[in-house]
Amino acid sequence: MYIYQNSRWPNFEWDESKLLPLLSTVRNLQGRLAGKMSALGFQLQTQANFEVLTQDVLKTSEIEGEKLNNQQVRSSVARRLGLEISGMIPSDRNVDGVVDMMFDATRNFQKEMTRERLFSWQRALFPTGYSGMYRVVTGSWRDDSTGPMQVISGPLGKGKVHFQAPESSSIEKEMLAYLKWINETHSIEPVIKAGIAHLWFLTIHPFEDGNGRIARAITDMLLARSDNQAQRFYSMSVQVRKQRKSYYEILEKTQKGNLDITDWLVWFLKCLQKALENSEHLLGKVIFKHGFWIKNVEKTENERQRKVLNLLLEGFKGNLTTTKWAKINKCSTDTALRDIQDLIKKGILKKLPGGGRSTAYTLADKGRD
């Protein structure tokens, strides 16, 4: 029996004694992070918010098996924040759609949640009306015209059914109750409410596609309410991506259980705790990058150097060689080598061990790993 088939659905139950220690830790970490960020000033806060939102958009899509273009996401987020970053490029509509949804969820966290708002989010995820080669019904609840909504893994025709959602005929009633609960002010602790909302939405599974990303956007909205601020300095989606296997396992277990969702909420709080702890690493990178440019901006001679240094600061994949430098900047290898040697002379870059045609370079000071 699925959880929604219980006669008392959706009257969830949980053991507060198992949640309170975790909730206390999470609330303490939220407070500490807010305190640290408030001490950094507007410029660094905006940069940290930019990095978190970029990762949020990338990872919430990766959880569903969709890999968005990193540079397009960075450019789309930067434009909405009014930031100028190196290497800005045009972004596809599907990238802008995810970014728009995340911005609406977090910037307008106090705004009432309505069916029209949810429809607009889902339409933004599928601007062409297609997901890959498959047509997706947007701007309305699913209709189950092709059969019941099921979460399946494995080869076509031999897949394992992990979950079957409620019949489409019940969605309107289910979502009215859900939205009323979301918009109500009640005694449930805001962080716990975020965890319940996530599970509840995925159990109803109201859309033909996009349910996971929308559920995580709702979670971010409610966490923004719990922080009482629109700027995001930690990402649940990044941590969920790291724990993707256990995420789907605990969802399946809970959706096939009774109305006691204690185990799900324990998992949710532990995941949130990790997300908050990992934000310390992000904060360190943002502070290092800010200090790096204060120290070195006047030492760089051209935009080519600034472009590649920014790529290194953001996590350049692989080894940087003169050939890659030339390709990134669309210049000759001789020009690339002069740029690199100039930065080595100024103590900004250094050679990695090895040599010859495969000589590689990295930042002389890489800050905290």
Which of 288, 315, 349 is the C-terminal boundary of a domain?
288
Domain-embedded: residue 78: yes
Whether residue 369 is contained in a domain is answered as no
Q: Are residues 307 and 277 in the same domain?
A: no
Same domain? For 234 and 325 the reply is: no
Residue 65 resides in a domain? yes
Q: What distance, in Å, lies between the first and last C-alpha atoms of the chain? A: 47
Same domain? 274 vs 313: no
Using the structure block, give the residue that is written with the tokens 């259980």.
Answer: 257
* Residue 79 within a domain: yes
| 8 Å CB contact between 80 and 103 | yes
pTM above 0.75? yes
Please provide the DSSP assignment of 143-159 as one string.
--TTS--EEEESSTTS-
pLDDT on residue 369: 47
Same domain, residue pair 323 and 355: yes
Last residue of a domain, one of 288, 322, 342: 288
What is the domain count for the chain?
2
Report residue 229: phi and psi, to 5°.
-155, 150
pLDDT in tens, the chain (369 residues): 899 999 999 999 999 999 999 999 999 999 999 888 888 888 889 989 999 999 999 999 999 999 999 999 999 999 999 998 877 899 999 999 999 999 999 999 999 999 999 999 999 999 999 988 889 989 999 998 888 999 888 877 778 899 999 999 999 999 999 999 999 987 899 999 999 999 999 999 999 999 999 999 999 999 999 999 999 999 999 999 999 999 999 999 999 999 999 999 999 999 999 999 998 887 888 888 888 988 998 999 999 999 999 889 877 888 899 999 999 999 999 999 999 999 999 999 999 987 666 799 999 987 654
Residue 305, domain CATH = 1.10.10.10
In a domain, 368, yes or no: no
Structure tokens at 238: 């990044």
- Could you say which of 288, 311, 332 is where a domain stops? 288
Considering only CA atoms, which of 201, 205, 212, 200 is closest in space to residue 247?
212
Residue 295 lies in a domain: no
Do β-strands 134-135 and 130-131 pair in parallel, antiparallel, or remain unpaired? antiparallel
Q: Is residue 294 part of a domain?
A: no
Q: Point out which residues pair with 134 in neighbouring strands.
A: 131
How far apart (Å, rounded) are the C-alpha atoms in residues 280 and 264? 25
Q: Which of 207, 240, 217 lies closest to 126, judged by CA?
A: 207
**Do 280 and 321 sit in the same domain of this protein?**
no
Cα distances from 255 to residues 87, 114, 202, 263, in angstroms, run: 44, 24, 9, 11
| Whole-number pLDDT of residue 107 | 96
Residues found in the chain:
369
Residue 13, domain CATH: 1.10.3290.10
**Do 190 and 222 meet the contact criterion of CB atoms below 8 Å apart?**
yes
**Residue 12 · residue 255 · CB < 8 Å:** no
Within 10 angstroms of residue 286's Cβ, the number of other Cβ atoms is: 24
Closest CA to 194 of 222, 234, 230, 164: 222
Q: What is the pLDDT of residue 3?
A: 97
Same domain, residue pair 335 and 211: no
Q: Are residues 147 and 188 in the same domain?
A: yes
CA dihedral 201→207→213→218, nearest 10 degrees, is -40
Cα–Cα distance for residue pair 185/173, rounded to 1 Å: 20
Residues 276 and 350 in one domain: no
Residue at 252: amino acid letter: E
d(CA 217, CA 192): 16
* 157 shares a domain with 219: yes
Q: What is the pLDDT of residue 358?
A: 77
Would you state the pLDDT for residue 76?
97
Domain co-membership, 322 together with 282: no
Q: Are residues 281 and 305 in the same domain?
A: no
Q: What is the pLDDT of residue 88?
A: 87
Predicted local distance difference test score (pLDDT) of residue 204: 98
Matching residue, tokens 């100024």:
346
Q: Is the link from the previous residue into 10 a cis peptide, with omega within 30 of 0? A: yes
| Residue 269 domain boundaries | 3-288
**Shared-domain flag, residues 66 and 40:** yes
Domain assignment of residue 214, yes or no? yes
